[in-house]
Structures are given as C-alpha cells and as structure tokens.
Structure 1
Amino acid sequence: MDFDVSIIKGGLSMQKFAKGFLVGAATAAHQVEGNNIHSDYWAQEQLPHSSFAEPSGIACDHYNRYEEDIRLLAEAGLNAYRFSIEWARIEPEEGKFDAGEMEHYRRVIACCKAHGVEPVVTLLHFTSPRWLIAKGGWEAESTISYFKRYVTYVMEQLGDALHYVCTINEANMGLQLAAISKRFRLMAEQAARNAAAAGKSAEGTVQVGMNFQKMMENMKYAAAENAGVFGDPQPKIFVSERTPEGDLLVMRAHTAAREAIRAICPHVKVGLTLSLHDLQAQSGGEPFAEAAWNEEFTHYLPYIQGDDFLGVQNYTRTLYGPTGQLPAPEGAELTQMDYEFYPQALEHVLRKVAKDFHGDLIVTENGIATADDTRRAAFIEQALAGVQRCVADGLPVKGYFHWSLMDNFEWQKGFAMNFGLIAVDRTTMARTPKPSLAVLGSYAGE
C-alpha cells in the first residue's frame, strides 16, 4: 500500500500518500505566463472578431512571479509542479532559437528544486508558434520534424535536470472538438431561436474552455481575418477540429519526440496526456459509450504502449442512453464550465485505462471550476480517496496534479473560470492561497 499513517482531517480519517508519490498542481504557459506574443493563440486573441472572451495579456504574470508561485506551492506541502515550456518563446521564428528564453525555463526548474519540488515539464500545451501554423500547422507532415527539432533543442539544454516529460498535452483534443463542434452545429440548427442555450450545452461536454456560440456567430468574419494572419481561413492550430489523418499525425509527432528524448536523456520518463471522460452507459447506451472510448483512448494504444507513463486528465463523466449522449442528470451540481460535479470519475477512468495501458499512470489534470472553495476541497478529498483505492489495489498510479495552481486564462472563456488553488487579483496580480491548496498539500508524504 503506497500511503502511510492516517491523520484526522475534518472529522474524517485521511491517509497521506507514501514518500515519492507526486502531489502537485499544474499550469500551462500561455494561461499563466503572459505576453506570449509569438504564438498562434496570441494572434487569434487580437482578431477583431475573435472567439476569445478577452485577450490573455499579462495573464497571471507567472513569467515574472514564478518564484513566488512555486514558493506558495511548496509551503503548502505540495512536492511537484507540472508546467509547460512555450515553443513560441523558444523558437519565435522558424529555425531561430532564443537562448535567453531557454535560460528562463532553466531558472524555473532550478527554483522548483530549491524548494524541494519535482518539476514535470510539458513540451506542448495547446499553443504553437505562429509561423508553424502558417506552414500548415497540425495537419502538415512537416510539423513532425519541426516538433522533433524543438524537442531535441529543449532536451539538450534542460534534460539533465528533469525526470518526467510530457510531450503533448491532451493529444486527443482535436477529435473531441470535431465531435463536439459537429454536435453543436446540429443543435444550433435544431434550436435556431435559442442558439445561445444550445451552445452552452455543447460547451459543457468538452474538457477545455471553448465559446462555440461565439465561433458560429463570427465564422464569416474570422475566416478572412485568419487568412490575413496565417494565410489560411481555417488555420490548423492544435485545438482545431482534427481530421483522422491529423489525429495520427499528432501521435507520430509524439513518437518522434519520444525517440529524441530517449536518445538524448535515457533517464527521463516520457509520456503524453489524454483528455478522458468517465463514459457511463445507461440501458441501451453501450454501443455509444464503447465507440466514444475507442475514439478517446483505445485507438491510441499502438502509439503509447512504449511510453513510460500516461498522463490521465479527467474532470467529469459523460452519460449515454439509447439515442446517444445524455445531459447531466436532473438537479446535478454543475461547475462554472457546465461540467457535472463528479469527482468519482477519476477513479473509474484510472481503473479502465489500467486494463490496457501497462506503464505508470500519473493524474496530470483533475479539478473543478468554482468560486466556492469548499466545493474544491470536497472535490479534492473525494477524488484522492479514489486514487488511494486504486493504489491500494496495486494500480501503478505515481502522482496527482490538480488543475490548476492558480486562477488563470481559461482559453476562449477568458479569466471568468476559477480553477485555481490560489486566487490572483486581476488588477494587482496579488496572490492569495485558498484553503484548498493546504488541503491538497496535506496529502503529500513526508
């Protein structure tokens, strides 16, 4: 059993994880650093008819305040920090690498280690260099070699200081968005007089902040504006509706990156992360749930079985009935993202994944968007109880990273979503740890 002595917390028995189990929080560069001016997202945020609720701007100014943020994480007891390196900073122009930006990330890693925090690095978390998208983006064969070149450069510079690297965040997101976007268009057609409500319903079924309604309204304008910026009216950014060929191209990019990492740093454990729902079939819904799981997970197995670990990212469940996907149950508690509050989903997904993937498992994202931090604390306690049951049953779960370390830029949703363990004042950038941060930290082994 990989946890030790019980302590009493909130009147309930709670067990710490064993020493060495990663208990941490996660961020993504674009969502927290600020001024990511060479990226595709930055460019799209500035368009006159952008689908973004607001631009990222200085985000949480984490680029300048990372030392304070890592210190707060460590002081609360957390022992690991998952963050991403921004490709658009490292290679702002094709073939031109910025040594100064590389030095910045070297300092972030050193800061983690100075505070006894294990750095877990993600090499691509949704955002890409603007120039890459102008050359065909995530549907272009050339992206595989460009990504491998970037990964090689980073690992040559930083690899000696790392033990865990995620190549690509939520490699399956493009197919999920394609399915959701298709469903949204059908819903909008069926409910033309109430399209806003239809959009809200669709957005709550994908684990990323999207404004499908605004995207539909702006489509004819955005096409021309995107063509002006990227040379393509429908640029193939990482978070775009993906073709089956593009889906496998992402897997091939991961495989190429994995080979590069192992050649340069054989000591580093490498994997990717997937966005996974707890797919639950009600009577008659079994074929739909099975097809969804194949699309979300199973068909990737040939590309990831050679990985050292899989990053499991889960926020909620999805229900299926005899006609397909169902809404959340009547009266269910919904988060700010319109996800059902269902922390039990994580345990279910870990157990299901472990049947087919035989490497280590790390929960690289799990969390809740809510302004009520007592619900976040409850979510953490229930989710981690499930993780501990998995560990007790012998599943190779090696860590848990909560999303997110701080309230941040939730992509197209802007700054309205409260996912953080730390509050950030949008005017002063002052940090205020929430009680949930200490709750999570209390689970880390001594």
Structure 2
Amino acid sequence: MSDIIRRDPRAEWIARNRLHPLHAAMQPLQHSWMGPNGVIRKNVHGVGFIGPNGIKRIDRSGAQQGGASKRTAAVEVQLPLHQVPAPAFYINVVPDMVGGRLSSHDRDLLGLARQLAGSDGAVLAVVFGEHKESAFATAGVDRLLVLEGHEFEGYAPEQRVQGLRAVDNQFSPRHWLLPDSRSGGGELGRRFAASLKERPATRVWQIKGEECIGRAGAGQEDLARPLPRLILAAAECADPVSETRHEVLPVELSTGLARSLPRIEDLGAVAVDPAAIPMAEAEFIFSGGNGVKDWALFHQTAAALGATEGASRVAVDDGFMARDRQVGASGTWVTARVYVAVGISGAIQHLQGIGACDKVVAINLDPGCDMIKRADLSVIGESAAILNALIAAVETYRNGAKRDAA
C-alpha cells in the first residue's frame, strides 16, 4: 500500500463553502481554547446535542449523551503535579504583586525561572506582606516565602533589601530574578544588586544557555553578556507556565530580620488626575464606543470611578473623544488591570489593543458581540441605566466609608 497522502478536493471544497449542508461536519470541533489573557474559553456552539425531535439540547453535566437518561458528572482535568522533594538549588523570584496579585509580567518571570530551574531546581517566590493570589501553583512556584511586617508596607526599599539579604544568606540561590518594571521591581533589583556588590543584567528578554540578551541603546539594540546571578527581566521574557501545577510549599526564615531605622519616609499615595495618566500606563480604563448615547453621563461615571477615559475608533471618528484616547491596534495598546468597555462591539483591532489587559468588563445590549465573548464579566442592558446604577453604588459605598471613619 502506498504511503502517499492524497488530497480530497471535494472535501476541501465543502470545508470552504459555508452554504453546503455538510460544511459544519467538515470543520474540526474545538470545544475550548485559551484566550489572550490565559483564561480557558468554551465554544458555546459546540455544547449540546440534537434530541430525538430535532431540537438542540444542552447537557449541563457535560456528558452530552443524547436521549440517555443517565448523566455522568463532568470530570475536571488536573494538570500534572511537579514536585521537587529535595531541591539541588533555588531560583529566587521577587514578583511585583501589584494589587496583591501576580501580573502578566510576574507570570513571564516565573516562566523564565522555571526554565532555569529545570527538573532538579526549585522556584522560590519571595512575597512582601499580605497577598490575594491563589494561583501560585499554576504559575510555577515550588516554594513560597512571605515576609510579613509593617516595615515592608508602602514604599520601603531599604527594608525590603534587608529582607532579601536575609533570604540570600539562608538559601544561597543560583539566580535572583526580578521584573525590570516601573512598579518597584526595577528599583528594588538595582538597590539589591548594589547591596550585594554585583552587576545585574537588566532588561533581559532572552536566555540561551549561559548567556543572556538584554535591550540596550534605548531599546534599539541587543546586548549579550554572560548570565549573572542577578537578573532583571523585561516583560515577555518567557512563556508563562501552563502545563504543570506545583506544590507551593511554605518556607520560613530560620533567623529574624535585622531591624534598622529607615532613611526614607513614605508619605502615602498622591492623588493624580486620571486624565493626566497616559493610556499605555493606566491601570483602570473606562472606555466608550458607539453604544454610548449619553456622553455626559459617561464622563460623570468615569469621574466617579476615578478611571482613565478611553474610546473606540468609532467614538473618536464621530468626535466624541480625542484621538489620543483611542484604544486598539490603530490607537494605543493598553495593559490595564481593569478595562471597562461600554457600548463597544469588539472589532478585531480593538481586541488586539486590549489583549494584555488582566480583567475586561463589558456593558452591551448585544449578548453575542465579540466584546462579550472576550470579557471576564459581562453586563447585558442599556448603558445609561447601568451607568446610573453604578454611580449610585459608588456614592453609597463612599458615604458608608465616611460614616465608618467618623
């Protein structure tokens, strides 16, 4: 028998012709896939079965057994557990943990640490203060060390460097990895390197063997150098961990931390006008589109929430928002932690521009639009009514906080 793979022109034609009755049968059925923010999304059109009367039914148990009366519960797929009982060495990671959670930059950093650790090493994450993260296991963390204390709260680089020095003395890691970011990791890493009297590798985006490559010349050139012990990595330095889960065993310092009087006093956060924040740096964006009919109410809601205003291309072309407020591939690519889309259907260029946002909230009348499919939380309804309710909820919350403070 010949091993030559022969094409079927008729099958290929049916697969291309959407009007053919056999077109759906020729398409590969994809039940789920990973979205741009790492969340597993399900194909709602692929769920269900055709009943005996020709009507499509949905089996909520996931069994999809047609007219069978017996239903079996869906089994959750567990990722394989990666264990390191006796680590040969440690790769220490200090994530930014903005808002108490791992950012996309932190997950890239943990993916790079996982590559350096291999099968014999363990990834040790060092976190300052309380956190809200519950996904350390799927992010690649084998050991977790939480340095608690009021001295680490706020802007306290000197105290944090002392804490890292104590961790370095106890665990003697092969490498230290910190995010080269403006959220604190870049400054902390450079201060830590000066304390250790070591020269770090900065803006690293790739590691090959015993050599690392970092950005130089205002980001226009690549600089290759031998792999040092202290690495400040840029975003997208590696793929996040996605195929394994890890133990996240808690560890503690064997000795207490040295206490010293800080030379820096943290006076707290300073109020900033959200409109003055560049779109690419905004953490909370409230964006409007063609579905917004009351723009005065839209601006009032953004002011009540303290969010930076954005817009779709349609809203900008119609003159409702300035050109520098446009979000998307033809405007500004944003990396907000929360992105609220009001009346935006979700053109492909707009979805590309918000691909790096952590949480997307969609307010729209059309439950089948692409923005609803992309969103982590969707609210279906008239935007004016929803925005009025949102303003009322914010005022109620703030008044309650004032009464509690009084």
TM over 0.5: no
TM-score of the two chains, using structure 2 as the length reference: 0.24
Report which of the two has the higher share of helix: 1
